[in-house]
Amino acid sequence: MSKNKSSRNKTIELSENDVVQLETKLLTPDSKLDKENLINKTILGDALEIIDYLPNHFVDLLFVDPPYNMNKVFGAKSFKEMDSGEYEVWVRSWLSKLVDKLKPTASVYICGDWRSSSALFRVLDDYFQIRNRITWEREKGRGAKTNWKNSSEDIWFATVSEDYYFDVEAVKLKKKVIAPYRDDSGKPKDWSEEERGNFRLTHPSNLWTDLSVPFWSMPENTNHPTQKPEKLVAKIILASSRKGDVILDPFLGSGTTSVVAKKLGRLYVGIEMDKYFACVAERRLEMAETDHRIQGYADGVFWERNVNPENNAADDINYQRLLL
């Protein structure tokens, strides 16, 4: 735990003792695994090798947040930027091996920034049916003097076949109504009057602007450099899996996918090659035993940023910070 940490700073950090205790929970396989052995586990190792140990056709939802094509340090290891052709070869080296691990009804989501996105599209297109590209506004990003600030990321959505599950009702967005329209009898048209204001449930689009990247006062925050928001992963899991389905994340990082899967009653398998972050995932999974809250998701709906006082408290703070 770092010294001088403000009491409002909720960042999850591990001591050396924590790592020693948590690493006993990790799987470190060196031969084929059965589904029973690996469900709800974090596997410590190189995904490119571990994928070969996984059984075939056991995954309902594959969520992949790979290193993007840029120089980035992940704990003890780092990823080196390549030319886009080399990056495409690297993506193909693991995605091609994951195809057999999926059920014929499975869905696939893969994240990337603008630089990585075209390589991801080309490889996905060779193995899957691409259905959409979600773009999310990441907000945070370094300003540049000679370029546009990079504040968005893509998430490609694909399926193995035409037969796939998608529950749009589970991912509706609750928005404030700006211009409340009433019918001839004076009743609200497609919106409702509530204590907190006037709201409308809307169909989620492929442009996501209601997310904050995790930051220091959010309980989900860790010291992983590229942690995804739980709210983002919750949208994907709720839309594209049922309770009890198996979700695989081969680049688990701080554990967001497994944690959200657990909170939403799904089964999970995660692979991460950095021991510290694999242990952070286990710590978050312990915390999820008793705390199932997902910031920005409450009462079965996703709330627009800055609206739900109970669940978006940190979103509000972040939003105000961004306005400064």
Ligand X SMILES: C[S@@+](CC[C@H](N)C(=O)[O-])C[C@H]1O[C@@H](n2cnc3c(N)ncnc32)[C@H](O)[C@@H]1O
Selection from 276, 258, 250 nearest residue 47 by Cα = 250
Q: Does 274 bind ligand X (CB under 6 A)?
A: yes
Q: Does 277 bind ligand X (CB under 6 A)?
A: yes
Q: Are 45 and 269 in contact (CB under 8 A)?
A: no
In whole angstroms, the minimum distance from the beta carbon of 117 to ligand X comes to 14
Q: Does 254 bind ligand X (CB under 6 A)?
A: yes
**Long-range CB contacts (< 8 A, 24+ apart) of 119-126?**
119/69, 119/84, 119/87, 119/88, 119/91, 120/91, 120/154, 120/156, 121/156, 122/88, 123/88, 123/91, 123/92, 123/95, 123/96, 124/95, 124/156, 124/158, 126/92
- Which position among 22, 91, 124, 271 is part of the footprint of ligand X (CB under 6 A)? 271
- Which position among 112, 253, 270, 296 is part of the footprint of ligand X (CB under 6 A)? 253
Q: Does 121 bind ligand X (CB under 6 A)?
A: no
Q: Does 227 bind ligand X (CB under 6 A)?
A: yes
Q: Does 272 bind ligand X (CB under 6 A)?
A: yes
Q: Which stretch binds ligand X (CB under 6 A): 28-36, 204-212, 225-233, 299-307?
A: 225-233
End-to-end CA distance of the chain: 30
Q: Does 224 bind ligand X (CB under 6 A)?
A: yes
- Between residue 38 and residue 97, which ones bind ligand X under the rule CB under 6 A? 46-48, 65, 67, 74, 77
Q: What angle do CA 125, 97, 86 make, to 5 degrees?
A: 65
- Which position among 117, 221, 241, 256 is part of the footprint of ligand X (CB under 6 A)? 256
Instruction: Count interface residues toward ligand X (CB under 6 A).
Output: 20
Residue nearest to ligand X (CB): 253
Q: Is the sign of the CA dihedral 168, 133, 163, 298 positive or negative?
A: negative
- Between residue 154 and residue 193, which ones bind ligand X under the rule CB under 6 A? none
In whole angstroms, the minimum distance from the beta carbon of 256 to ligand X comes to 3
Q: Which is nearer to ligand X, 307 or 314 (CB)?
A: 314
Q: Which stretch binds ligand X (CB under 6 A): 13-21, 24-32, 267-275, 294-302?
A: 267-275
In whole angstroms, the minimum distance from the beta carbon of 133 to ligand X comes to 18
3-state secondary structure 29-80: CCCCCCHHHHCCEEEECCHHHHHHHCCCCCEEEEEECCCCCCCEEECCEEEC
Q: Is 139 exposed, middle or buried (CB count within 10 Å of its CB: 0-12, 13-18, 19+)?
A: middle
For residue 322, how far is the Cα from the chain centroid? 22
In whole angstroms, the minimum distance from the beta carbon of 77 to ligand X comes to 6
DSSP string, 166-191: --GGGG-EEEE-SS--B-TTS-BSS-
Q: Which is nearer to ligand X, 129 or 226 (CB)?
A: 226
Q: Which is nearer to ligand X, 60 or 65 (CB)?
A: 65
Q: Does 251 bind ligand X (CB under 6 A)?
A: yes
In whole angstroms, the minimum distance from the beta carbon of 64 to ligand X comes to 9
In whole angstroms, the minimum distance from the beta carbon of 198 to ligand X comes to 34
CA distance linking residue 247 with residue 293, whole number of Å: 19
Q: Which is nearer to ligand X, 256 or 311 (CB)?
A: 256
Interface residues with ligand X (CB under 6 A) are 46-48, 65, 67, 74, 77, 224, 226-228, 251, 253-254, 256, 271-274, 277
